[in-house]
Structure 1
């Protein structure tokens, strides 16, 4: 079954279990500014700051869920409308659905840490990655999926590190003494080289998560986008300072 069919079916089960009226429930989604989403950070090269991604935020009865995406969206409507979106062909619709799923699951107490950390917290979060990796593995080769500067800078000080990204402005450049490789061209080489994968949860929005979810090696997802889906799909998630 397609991942999004699984997520949609799960959400429908919760609607039935908790007697939620899909016509009456309002979902409001908006795009956050970089300052709203991540605050005033030490580093200025996070994708959301340089304009390569935006943060969608959905509100469900006061509970908020977020999703990083490259497709801005403003929406106000019912949960029924969210569940009728085209999740297979449209990254715009997938982003709306994911933010809404996170908000609904947060409201029901079925997931947590759905709001991105801010200001100095991304630095604090990133310092935990080497600690966790060291506690679980000896000296692994680490592939990081997605350009996340704080994580890259901290992990590469402890482990052999390679990074995959899809942004042509980063590909084949050196960032924090690590070459950023092409997420399509170099995928097979980097994945076969790595012992463990640290993967951005925003792969869920563009559906490239299918390239990582069934790998025969440990995969850890980071960020708020993957909050609800990680619980539903049984994925390992690292997210230390989100709210």
Structure 2
């Protein structure tokens, strides 16, 4: 996945070319030369899409990028974060190092660093996350060309995963070459059988198809040997899972403040006996909750409702539970998956 991130300006534009999560190239161009630059980079780099900061008039300046998807992201605080990124790459020396952080001024324009921030912000957005997942899906297919002809069985059903409580939602289960993958969400799919090649050109990052994409990824990771287990544990194993989770968190992070996104009564009750636990729901004071939490514990639904994106932006530990997150936790390196009793 290759894309161009842009920081717009009246006199100059910053740019960064991303290959996946890595910055391949960055720089600053004069605004008068923007169109020539866009034409050249589009041909030379074979871009998949473009990301630009959400600023009035920015998209209108990108008319030469017809037939290329253009996405926008919030520009708030990009200048401050770009300055921090600049000084992380070029640490201040001498007297400059003695100045308070807010008074340090870069020795040159930092529009290119702002473009890097914009690109990274996109990758942490819900759409950016699913772009990364889609790329991982396509990569596995490219590396296993024969699998395109395999039949994919798709079905949905309710699953009692909380010892007597059925969550509001459905499990989508896919099976490819005998390997199964699941995802939990609020979309119910009709049972059907298709060829995998028929799904390759499907817009899997659309909201309705995101659950299908994750289930496919879990099955394909199992197929390729990336994971061994992708199905839910038994109801009577939930307490054991919860106890193991408490032990694991204690050993890894100590007695931390945990923000939980999702609803698993068995696990939440076990956590509350050991930790300070807050639930991220519609009644929460979101700003205070996010600010005061040391660890974010997320279930699969957080991937689809945008909460995982908010956690990623805070750069704190994220632990994701359940089989939905088995392959995403491998692809999104910033998060850690936990599902020891999956089948």
TM bin (shorter chain):
0.7 to 0.9
Pairwise CA distance, 1:190? 1.0
Judged with a 3 Å threshold, the aligned counterparts in structure 2 of structure 1 residues 13 and 138 are, in CA distance, closer, same or farther, namely: closer
Taking only aligned residues, the RMSD between alpha carbons, in angstroms, comes to 1.9
Give, in angstroms, the shift of residue 32 of structure 1: 2.4
Change (3 A) 1:196 1:21: closer
Q: Residue deviations 1:131-177, cap 9 Å, x none?
A: 111102232111111111111100000111101135xxxxxxxxxxx
User: What aligned pairs does 1:9-158 form with structure 2 within 5 A after superposition?
Assistant: 9-22=135-148, 24-34=149-159, 38=161, 43-45=163-165, 49-50=166-167, 52-74=168-190, 75-90=192-207, 92-158=208-274
Count of aligned residue pairs for this structure pair: 215
Q: Separation in 2 of the partners of 1:139 and 1:155?
A: 11
Task: Give 1:188's match in structure 2, choosing from 270, 287, 296.
Answer: 287
| Runs of at least 5 residues in structure 2 that lack an aligned partner in the other structure | 1-122
| CA–CA distance in structure 2, aligned partners of residues 128 and 107 of structure 1 | 27
Q: Deviations over 1:74-112 (max 9, x none)?
A: 24212233333334442x211111111111111111123
Q: Where does residue 5 of structure 1 map in the other structure?
A: 131
Partner of 1:174: none
The residue aligned with 1:164 is 280
Partner Cα separation in structure 2 for residue 196 and residue 209 of structure 1: 12
Deviation of residue 233 (structure 1)? 1.7
Q: Which runs of 5+ in 1 are unaligned?
A: 167-180
For 2:303, the equivalent position in structure 1 comes to 204
TM-score w.r.t. length of structure 2: 0.59
Q: For 2:289, what is the secondary structure of its paired residue?
A: helix
Indicate conservation of the 8 Å contact 1:199/1:219, yes or no: yes
Larger CA deviation: 203-212 vs 8-17:
203-212
Partner SS, residue 120 of structure 1:
helix
In structure 1, what is the Cα distance between the partners aligned to 2:154 and 2:142?
23
Higher RCO (CA < 8 A, seq sep 6+): 1
Confirm or deny: 8 A CA contact 2:204 2:210 kept in the other structure: yes
CA contact (8 A) 1:8 1:83 kept: no
